[in-house]
Amino acid sequence: MYQVVRPSRSEFVPIRLHNYHVRLWGDPGAAPLVLVHGWMDVAASYQFMVDALTPGFFSGRFIIAPDWRGFGHSSGPACDHYSFADYLGDLECLLDHFVGERPVDLVGHSMGGNIAMMYAGTRPGRIRRLVNLEGFGMPATRPAQAPKRYARWIDEIKALHRGEKALKTYPDLAAVAARLMKTNRRLPQDKADWLAREWSEERTQPDGGTRREILGDAAHRITSAQLFRVEEMLALYAAISAPTLMVEASEDNLGNWWNGKFTLAEFHERLKAVPTVQHEIIQDAGHMLHHDQPQALARLVEGFLTAG
């Protein structure tokens, strides 16, 4: 199994009626670096990148990586859907708790990258430098789609309460690791075995037996009631004052996900709204580039965050 080089310590923090689980590395007095994970992921996902940081860089950083509400070991009130705005509010309160008024370097992957970009446009003075890892946003929508979107949202909530949105469970850790490797063909066995322990938990089932359950609330599968409004996102992008690093994998994930409904070219056009942006591509990597190429990613992130 993968051997962790730099173990994290855990802290639980009351944030907006939730009990947030946060992984921490380093001295709280050092320069803050915040790492936020993506959809159906956990803060532990960044362990490989943290281990790949150079000793000099790592020693000068206070690294903060939360499990978003409804993921990992964070817990809160029963919920049947999640709103993107809540992530921004949670992030604000987390920064208040851990760093006060100090500006932070913020890194986000996938959904976390979208949240990071939105927050940086909402609170530009709180972000020193910004790194977006494969956080592309969503296809453009039209107001005319609203009636069917709201109807879909209602139908999916009803389906959740009927038990039709439950996440798949697994007989053991080996099955969880196999699932992770099926999703990410570049993920080696040792990392998959380690992630399986962090990504799932053994829980008692209705029949009295035990199975591994993913540490993610099934309510995250509910489609947002709100349409993705490109004009709003562009306004947020334009309000970002921090130098921004956009990191993509060499594998075109948008092409795989959206079948032409949303392309990299379209995202790159949106990215032009960010005042100061550097664009990099990591070779031989898919969407989970912090798993596929943690050393290459660590070098890129370090170089960007320490540039004059």
Q: Which two tokens stand for residue 257?
A: 């996900």
The pLDDT assigned to 255 comes to 82
As a whole number of angstroms, the distance between CA 230 and CA 22 comes to 31
Residue 240 has pLDDT above 80, yes or no: yes
User: Which of 157, 95, 152, 97 is closest to 127 using CA atoms?
Assistant: 95
Q: What is the pLDDT of residues 218-233, one digit of tens each?
A: 999 999 999 999 999 9
Residue 253 has pLDDT above 90, yes or no: no
In three-state form (DSSP H/G/I as H, E/B as E, the rest C), the secondary structure along the chain is: CCCCCCCCEEEEEEECCEEEEEEEECCCCCEEEEEECCCCCCHHHHHHHHHHCCHHHHHCEEEEEECCCCECCCECCCCCCCCHHHHHHHHHHHHHHHHCCCCEEEEEECHHHHHHHHHHHHCHHHEEEEEEECCCCCCCCCHHHHHHHHHHHHHHHHHHHCCCCCCCEECCHHHHHHHHHHHCCCCCHHHHHHHHHHHEEEEECCCCCEEEEECECHHHHCCCCCCCCHHHHHHHHHCCCCCEEEEEECCCHHHHHHCCCCCHHHHHHHHCCCCCEEEEEECCCCCCHHHHCHHHHHHHHHHHHHCC
Q: How confident is the model at residue 256 (pLDDT cuts 50, 70, 90)?
A: confident
> What type of residue is 278?
Q
Residue 132 has pLDDT above 80, yes or no: yes
Q: How confident is the model at residue 90 (pLDDT cuts 50, 70, 90)?
A: very high
> Are 297 and 290 contacting, i.e. CB atoms less than 8 angstroms apart?
yes
The pLDDT assigned to 88 comes to 98
Residue 1 has pLDDT above 80, yes or no: yes
Backbone torsions φ then ψ of 32, nearest 5 degrees: -75, 135
Give the global pTM. Answer: 0.97
User: How would you classify residue 239: left for phi > 0, otherwise alpha for psi between -120 and 50, otherwise beta?
Assistant: alpha
**Domain boundaries along the sequence of the chain:** 1-140+229-308
Q: How confident is the model at residue 50 (pLDDT cuts 50, 70, 90)?
A: very high
> Are 35 and 43 contacting, i.e. CB atoms less than 8 angstroms apart?
yes
CATH number of 1-140+229-308: 3.40.50.1820
Distances (CA, A) of 123 to 82, 95, 132, 270: 21, 11, 16, 20
> Are 198 and 42 contacting, i.e. CB atoms less than 8 angstroms apart?
yes
